[in-house]
Amino acid sequence: MTHHLVLALDVGGTNTRGEVLDATLGEPLARAALPTPERDGEATLTTIEALCRELLGRLPDARRTQVAAVGLGVPGIVDTTRGTVRLAGNLGWTNMPVGDRLAARLGLPVHVHHDVTAAGLAEQALGAGAGVDDLLAVFIGTGIAAAIVAGGVSVRGGLHQAGELGHVPVDPDGLLCPCGQRGCLEMYSSARAIGRTYGAVTGNPAATSLDVVTALGHDPRADAVWSEALDALAHGLLGAITLLAPSRVVLGGGLSGAGAALVDPLRARLVARARVAAIPPIVTAELGQRAGVLGAGLATFRRIQGAGGAAAGGDPADENQVEVAEPAQVPAAVRGWR
């Protein structure tokens, strides 16, 4: 097992990143990236195949034969047991048997993981959540999603949708989200929402959340936008903390780069509002853009080890969960998101 290698990939909305990893999850033996096609399912599969072949081509022959599997982290609603993506609108996938299709092309087992769950697993094992068995890892970027670790086990949910924190309503009469609901958290507190709101008040449609963070303390409009976003984020997080009682909260994604400007006022809001929940330590993620790739690799190595070989299958939580019935078709109302 120690000599096995894994092709670990993180499929993002803009780029797909890949690394060749050994079981130490240290420096990659090879690394590459390709742009991700937009809403074109077949083109996305072809891009992933091409990236895998590029990674394999960068290995010496002796090392290439040690590649045991592909670990693939993807967004959306992911059935990791069957390797099927139920819905990933930005990738153009609906009920797509990604694992089987790619395995047939590559001649390797392909293990499909939810990208945020994988990133959270990596932070729990290797990063800011190390040593914590009950962890809430919240990734704030274009959208918002969470990875939940309870008792050391990644929680996926019976319908493979656990962790969609960004679609928890914080204002039932609020902004209309592409998912069809009103007042979803990510409509107020995601990096995209913060940039959009600042752009509206400044007249600069190209404004980003980085512009807001840079202007804090210098532009009252930025201060107001940031404060409103943190109010909503605290509201959503308090519900999750009250329900799950994590020992630590890790904040990842692009917005976590704000550091103390994010963590300190967010914690202050949570402490001020909490009446039942104990607010745990809140820290920023440590693995950066590698979190998704490392998580896909880690989950795949654990799956291989648990199966005693390189048989295809789902994530390491599968051995701790009862097989569930085939999920229902994805509701039409949510086809535009993730």
Domain boundaries, the chain: 5-118+289-334, 129-286
Q: Which CATH superfamily is domain 5-118+289-334 in?
A: ATPase, nucleotide binding domain (3.30.420.40)
Q: Which carries the bigger pLDDT value, residue 219 or residue 13?
A: 219
Give helix 220-244 / helix 191-202 axis angle, nearest 10°. Answer: 160
The amino acid at residue 199 is G
Average pLDDT over residues 83-107: 93
The pLDDT of residue 106 is 97
Torsion angle in degrees (nearest 10) through CA of 139, 146, 96, 14: -10
Give helix 291-307 / helix 115-126 axis angle, nearest 10°. Answer: 90
Q: Which residues make Cβ contacts (< 8 Å) with residue 279, sequence separation at least 6?
A: 241, 267, 270, 271
Give helix 98-106 / helix 41-57 axis angle, nearest 10°. Answer: 40
Q: Over the stretch 316-327, which tens digit does the pLDDT of each residue have?
A: 444 333 232 333
Q: Over the stretch 276-332, which tens digit does the pLDDT of each residue have?
A: 999 999 999 999 989 999 999 999 999 998 765 444 444 444 433 323 233 334 433
Using DSSP's 3-state secondary structure scheme, residue 25 falls into coil
For residue 32, the 8-state DSSP code is E
Three-class SS string for 222-259? HHHHHHHHHHHHHHHHHHHHHHHCCCEEEEECHHHHHC
Q: Output the average pLDDT for the chain.
A: 89
The pLDDT of residue 76 is 86
129-286 belongs to CATH 3.90.700.10: no
Q: Is 242 exposed, middle or buried (0-12, 13-18, 19+ CB in 10 A)?
A: middle
Q: Quote the percentage of the chain above a pLDDT of 70.
A: 90
Q: Over the stretch 145-180, which tens digit does the pLDDT of each residue have?
A: 999 999 998 888 887 788 999 999 999 999 999 888
Indicate the pTM of the whole model: 0.84
Say yes or no: do domains 5-118+289-334 and 129-286 share a fold: yes
The pLDDT of residue 156 is 83
Phi/psi of residue 239, nearest 5 degrees: -60, -45
Which pLDDT band holds residue 83 (cuts at 50, 70, 90)?
A: very high
